[in-house]
């Protein structure tokens, strides 16, 4: 079977992690298939995707652009299946297609959009992807339900295939390495960790406010370490982070190497994930693998991913979040309980299973 795969976003966070992890497992499993990867050739080679059954076609058309619609090289190719790992499909492609839709955040929370064209573009493209694809891979049941809610039909062509955690999070980082990384990033001895791009739906402002209140009330001396790239369309988040840095309780890290992230997780006391909406919620699994207790939202895909492994809260309820975070900070037995539960939940997820199930979708869609 000839399979095309759009890997242009391989260096991105989120979807890039999905692309890298899926290809790492799927290419060796699919030895009997011929894969063509579309993307930056140097990056794909650096990631080691040079198997005998892999052909790379260099392309760097910007995502969400007219160029990717008119000049994507897949338009000149023929495959049994073409996989678009995001909803920005080449709508002029007429072959059989599988698309992965991670979330519909733009449609669920349009109030956070700063470009008036973003909502109609997202609605048009997701609708096209949903109906044009032979099969749609959803990373969670929550995303599948969102899609059927917005675009109708019973979603019979949708297949839920969960993501998983990358292997580097599963290994205990040596103490000397942790010490070096703590020094390199000037990390405090005790901190609550938050990881994710600084967009409004990540609810960072609420987390900052609650940690500030707990510190002012003398309940805790915990710092807050925020790992995430700024989003220039919402500078108010960065302004509040800088204010917390000046107050001495926030440490903001951006553009750190992925190889340093596992140690930053493992040195944290608590992981906080108060997002208002997610398609999956991969940082939750990263925290589980790092053996730190998790407090997380009880909305969208998050309960599906977290299972019983996290202390779930209403992300709009300041009083509940504050009370539960205080409990987790003060009760060592409760922290140990959620660490054990989180580790147990990890057994439900595997990139190998993700790759196997994805190959099955290809084979079914190619018929």
For every residue of 221-267, DSSP letters joined together read --EEEEE--B-TT-HHHHHHHHHHHHHTSEEEE-S--GGGHHHHHHT
Comparing 81 with 235, the larger pLDDT belongs to 81
Same domain, 89 and 7: yes
Same domain, 223 and 260: yes
Same domain, 63 and 188: no
Residue 114 has pLDDT above 80, yes or no: no
pLDDT digit string (tens) for 12-39? 888 999 999 999 999 999 989 999 999 9
- pLDDT for the residue 255: 85
Percent of the chain with pLDDT over 70: 100
pLDDT digit string (tens) for 121-138? 999 999 999 999 999 999
CATH for 255: 3.40.50.2000
Q: Are strands 270-273 and 294-297 parallel, antiparallel or unpaired?
A: parallel
The phi-psi region of residue 122 (left if phi > 0; otherwise alpha if psi is between -120 and 50; otherwise beta) is alpha
pLDDT digit string (tens) for 290-323? 999 999 999 999 999 999 999 999 999 999 999 9
Alpha helices, H only, the chain: 15-29, 41-46, 66-71, 105-108, 118-132, 141-151, 175-184, 204-216, 235-247, 261-266, 282-289, 302-306, 318-330, 332-345, 351-365
- pLDDT for the residue 49: 84
pTM score, two decimals? 0.94
Same domain, 152 and 276: no
**Number of structural domains found in the chain:** 2
Q: What is the DSSP letter of 11?
A: T
Same domain, 157 and 64: yes
Same domain, 66 and 174: no
Q: Which of 104-118, 203-217, 339-353 has the lowest mean pLDDT?
A: 104-118
CA 285 to the chain's CA centroid? 10
Residue 218 has pLDDT above 80, yes or no: yes
Contacts of 289 (CB under 8 A, 6+ apart): 165, 169, 170, 265, 343, 346
Percent of the chain with pLDDT over 90: 89
Same domain, 332 and 228: yes
- pLDDT for the residue 154: 83
- pLDDT for the residue 334: 97
Same domain, 355 and 344: no
Dihedral sign computed on CA atoms, order 80, 45, 254, 289: positive
- pLDDT for the residue 294: 98
The phi-psi region of residue 224 (left if phi > 0; otherwise alpha if psi is between -120 and 50; otherwise beta) is beta
- pLDDT for the residue 249: 97
Q: What whole-number distance in Å separates Cα of residue 58 and Cα of residue 39?
A: 5
CA distances from 233 to 199, 200, 230, 326 (A): 9, 10, 9, 32
pLDDT digit string (tens) for 48-85? 887 778 999 999 899 999 999 999 999 999 999 999 99
Residue 233 has pLDDT above 90, yes or no: no
The phi-psi region of residue 223 (left if phi > 0; otherwise alpha if psi is between -120 and 50; otherwise beta) is beta
- Mean pLDDT (the chain, rounded): 95
Closest CA to 95 of 84, 106, 108: 84
- pLDDT for the residue 230: 86
For residue 20, the enclosing domain spans 2-164+350-365
Q: What whole-number distance in Å separates Cα of residue 69 and Cα of residue 53?
A: 27
CA distances from 321 to 192, 247, 316, 335 (A): 14, 22, 8, 16
Confidence band of 196 (pLDDT split at 50, 70, 90): very high
Same domain, 248 and 155: no
- pLDDT for the residue 180: 97
Comparing 46 with 288, the larger pLDDT belongs to 288
Comparing 118 with 212, the larger pLDDT belongs to 212
Residue 232 has pLDDT above 90, yes or no: no
- pLDDT for the residue 126: 96
SS3 178: helix
Same domain, 92 and 146: yes
324-347: average pLDDT? 97
Residue 199 has pLDDT above 80, yes or no: yes
Same domain, 73 and 125: yes
Q: What whole-number distance in Å separates Cα of residue 86 and Cα of residue 63?
A: 10
- pLDDT for the residue 36: 96
Q: Beta partners for 3? A: 35, 81
Same domain, 8 and 143: yes
């Amino acid at each position: 079977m000839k399979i095309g795969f759009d890997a242009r976003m391989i260096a991105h966070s989120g979807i890039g992690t999905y692309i890298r992890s899926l290809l790492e497992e799927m290419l060796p499993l699919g030895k009997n298939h011929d894969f063509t990867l579309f993307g930056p050739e140097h990056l794909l080679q650096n990631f080691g995707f040079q198997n005998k059954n892999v052909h790379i076609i260099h392309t760097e058309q910007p995502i969400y652009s007219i160029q990717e619609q008119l000049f994507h090289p897949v338009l000149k190719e023929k495959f049994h299946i073409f996989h678009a790992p995001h909803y920005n499909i080449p709508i002029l492609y007429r072959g059989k297609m599988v698309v992965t839709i991670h979330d519909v955040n733009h449609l669920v929370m349009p109030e956070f959009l700063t470009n008036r064209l973003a909502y109609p573009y997202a609605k048009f493209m997701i609708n096209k992807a949903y109906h044009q694809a032979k099969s749609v891979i959803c990373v969670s049941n929550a995303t599948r339900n969102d899609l059927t809610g917005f675009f109708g039909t019973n979603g019979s062509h949708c297949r839920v295939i969960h993501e998983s955690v990358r292997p580097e999070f599963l290994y205990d980082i040596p103490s000397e390495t942790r010490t070096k990384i703590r020094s390199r990033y000037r990390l405090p001895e005790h901190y609550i960790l938050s990881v994710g791009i600084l967009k409004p739906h990540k609810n960072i402002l609420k987390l900052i406010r609650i940690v500030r209140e707990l510190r002012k009330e003398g309940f805790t001396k915990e710092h807050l370490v925020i790992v995430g790239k700024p989003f220039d369309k919402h500078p108010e988040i960065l302004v509040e982070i800088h204010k917390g840095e000046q107050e001495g309780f926030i440490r903001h890290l951006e553009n750190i190497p992925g190889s340093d992230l596992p140690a930053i997780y493992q040195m944290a006391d608590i992981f906080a994930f108060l997002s208002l909406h997610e398609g999956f919620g991969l940082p939750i699994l990263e925290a589980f693998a790092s053996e730190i207790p998790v407090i997380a939202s009880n909305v969208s895909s998050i309960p599906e991913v977290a299972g019983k492994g996290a202390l779930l809260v209403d992300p709009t309820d300041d009083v509940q979040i504050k009370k539960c975070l205080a409990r987790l900070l003060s009760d060592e037995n409760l922290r140990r309980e959620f660490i054990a539960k989180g580790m147990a939940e990890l057994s439900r997820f595997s990139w190998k299973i993700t790759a196997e199930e994805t190959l099955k979708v290809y084979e079914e869609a190619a018929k």
